[in-house]
Amino acid sequence: MQRRKMFTFITLFGISMTLSILIVLAAFYEHIFSASYPEINRDRCLYATLLEEENTKESGMRRGPMSLFYINTYIKTLKTPEKVAYSTVPNTVNTYGNGKKISLFFKYTDPIFWEITQFEFLEGKPYTQRDIDNNESVAIINDETRDDYFGKNVSAIGKTIEINGQYLRVVGVVRGCPITRLVVAADVYMPWHLQKRASVTNELNGNYTAIILAKTPADLPKIQQEYADLVPRIPLSETGGFKPDKLNTSLSSYFDSIVRDMFFGAGGSSARSRFYLFVVVFALLFMSLPAINLVNINISRILERASEIGIRKAFGASAQTLVTQFVIENIILTLFGGMVAILISAVFLWWFNNSNLIAYADLAVNWTVVAVALTLSLVFGLMSGVYPAWRMSRLPAVEALKG
Amino acid sequence: MIHLKNIEKVYRTDTVETLALNNITLQIEKGEFLSIMGPSGCGKSTLLNIMGLLDEPTKGQINLDTQEISDFSDKKLSRFRNQKIGFIFQSYHLINDLPVLDNVELPLLYRDVSSAERRRLAAEALEKVGLANRMKHYPSQLSGGQKQRVAIARAIVGQPEIILADEPTGNLDSAMGNEIMEILENLNRADRTTIVMVTHDENMARRTHRLVRLFDGSLVSSNTFVN
């Protein structure tokens, strides 16, 4: 391997780049979909993120998050869940603090939002139903907003932040989470009653999403069933000239809700299988090029060594010994490629986490993916390296000596 | 030591069948230095390859050191080649990416010999052929004569009973060829190593004990010399 530096380099490059990309993609996948701060209860949560009102006769559709009316009437009244929290989809606002313009994501939530999520309060505490009842103008901000708006590590509790013309007293500072935690991430959180546009209409669509916490993961199907039974009974009314006759909505796991919202819409009941099909096809296409390259390089490497195989056979190497030699060479090469890939990915993820491209990013190497990818590389390496070596080693030595 | 009986070798393609060796019977005694001559393409190298178990005859029987080898497995053939036979090729067949010492060590890699012992034996073999000062060189840094001496060192490092040399002086000038021939003669005299050498050079052949001539795949004559 040391002797054929170019071949070794190309093989190593192919293995390590392919594995690195897989490891990084897997880290992003985990980052987006796995239960992590502050949504550590995702395994017993369902999400209501999308409502689709459909006019099947005229092929019309209205699609988006839900109204507060809808959540209060049809989701909060479900009997099986332990808790239901709601929050608006994040919005952006510009504000001025500490002598500079600051762009912030904000959202409105109910107090239960702080019970279902597990935000770490660095200062203060969550707002409560009492704050809402008393019509208090309060807010919770994350640590980055505190540092930007009030100054680094300056206490923000009791101070005022201006959002959309409203002056809000800061009652809590939480450790922030990356914006990729789509349902819960924001820089500023306010109680829902501060939303300027009052949600008093009976419209079903709005700008809220709900998180439904089950007592145990085993309750999730029951909650989904209770909701599915309810949906056909929800009355639909004409608004703005659009008359829906069908309502598509379901309570889904976080993964399903994100995948469905991104790719397929509320009616897609097989979103998960379609997404996996998409991922598998993509991964196969993505992996096939370096795999073919690896096979090609390995075959060339072995054909180039035909004469050496002949010489070794002439001086006593059996077919088995030669195949063993190539197996060991391939294993070493692949494992080394794997180590390089882990190093490259770890450095990339470290850089990404610290680059602030996504604030609070916490991407990490997934060791299961590393193991699977390494095993696949070994299989490819062995298939492409050992089979031609085995064929060559079966040749009479005199043929191999000819090269 | 080597007994070939009714050896026949036929090369077949889709359209042509070529008889390379035709009914060769040859007995070579232990300690004998035999040369094989004949025009190009008459089957000399094929015969040597069959003797060295590098190629299989189409028909016939091979006995080496009293053992009939036709039903040997690949593993047993490899072990037999490793322990009993050393090869010297006209084009040296050194592994260019390995230094001289590693090339010479090669046969010992397939024996139960420690790394230190391999180094010692390889260095000793290189000393015998006068190349002790070239151990760390690569084949590309050596002259043709030096390469052939490395090939001889590799052939003798495992102290085989038989050395098969395919035109060992074919690529060398007469002075260098003479040096190689002297090394082979010494091996034959001092260690009673059986040597079979294919050559085109009548003078070299006359320095061996016996010369057999091939023509169109058949053995046509055998001359014994008193050396």
Chain mean position to CA A3: 43
**Looking at the complex, does the CB of residue B117 fall below 8 Å from at least one CB of chain A?**
no
The rounded mean pLDDT for chain A is 86
**Looking at the complex, does the CB of residue B89 fall below 8 Å from at least one CB of chain A?**
yes
Nearest-Cα distance to chain B for A317, in Å, is: 6
Rounded to an integer, the average pLDDT of A226-231 is 95
SS (H, E, C) A113-178: HHHHCCCCEEEECCCCHHHHHCCCCEEEEEHHHHHHHHCCCCCCCCCEEEECCEEEEEEEEECCCC
| pLDDT for the residue numbered A200 | 57
Rounded to an integer, the average pLDDT of A97-118 is 93
Domain encompassing residue B117: 32-40+74-224
| pLDDT for the residue numbered A330 | 78
Nearest-Cα distance to chain A for B98, in Å, is: 8
- pLDDT band with cut points at 50, 70 and 90 for residue A265: low
SS (H, E, C) A336-403: HHHHHHHHHHHHHHHHHHHHCCCCCCCCCCCHHHHHHHHHHHHHHHHHHHHHHHHHHHHCCHHHHHCC
The number of domains in chain B is 1
Of the candidates A311, A314, A316, the beta carbon closest to that of B79 is on: A316
Q: Do A320 and B87 touch (CB under 8 A)?
A: no
Q: CATH number, domain at B121?
A: 3.40.50.300
Tell me how far apart the alpha carbons of residues A213 and A47 are, in angstroms, rounded to a whole number.
9
pLDDT of A197 > 80? The answer is no
The string of pLDDT tens digits covering residues A36-52 is 899 999 999 999 998 99
| pLDDT for the residue numbered A290 | 67
pLDDT of A2 > 60? The answer is no
Span of A171-175, A385-389, B75-79, B110-114 with lowest mean pLDDT: A385-389
Position B114 in a domain:
yes
| pLDDT for the residue numbered A199 | 55
ipTM of the complex: 0.92
Q: Of A142 and A281, which is predicted with more confidence?
A: A142
Span of A26-40, A193-207, A349-363 with lowest mean pLDDT: A193-207
The residue among B53, B54, B55 with the most chain A CBs within 10 A of its CB, best to mutate, is: B54
CB-CB neighbors (< 8 A) of A3 in chain B: 97-98
Quick one: closest CA in B to A311, which residue? Answer: B93
Position B132 in a domain:
yes
Q: Of A141 and A277, which is predicted with more confidence?
A: A141
- pLDDT band with cut points at 50, 70 and 90 for residue A59: confident
Q: What percent of chain A has a predicted confidence (pLDDT) above 90?
A: 45
Both structure tokens of A228: 């599915």
Q: Of A48 and A56, which is predicted with more confidence?
A: A48
Q: Of B196 and A370, which is predicted with more confidence?
A: B196
Span of A116-120, A179-183, A378-382 with lowest mean pLDDT: A378-382
- pLDDT band with cut points at 50, 70 and 90 for residue A198: low
Position B81 in a domain:
yes
pLDDT of A57 > 70? The answer is yes
CB-CB neighbors (< 8 A) of B81 in chain A: 313-316
Q: Are B197 and B35 in contact (CB under 8 A)?
A: yes
Nearest-Cα distance to chain B for A376, in Å, is: 31
pLDDT of A193 > 90? The answer is yes
Tell me the pLDDT of chain B (227 aa) as tens digits: 899 999 999 998 888 899 999 999 999 999 999 999 999 989 999 999 999 999 999 999 999 888 888 888 888 989 999 999 999 998 899 998 899 999 999 999 999 999 999 999 999 999 988 899 999 999 999 998 899 999 999 999 999 999 999 998 888 788 888 888 998 999 999 989 999 999 999 999 999 999 999 999 999 888 887 66
Position B26 in a domain:
no
* β-strand partners of B211: B35, B223
pLDDT of A4 > 70? The answer is no
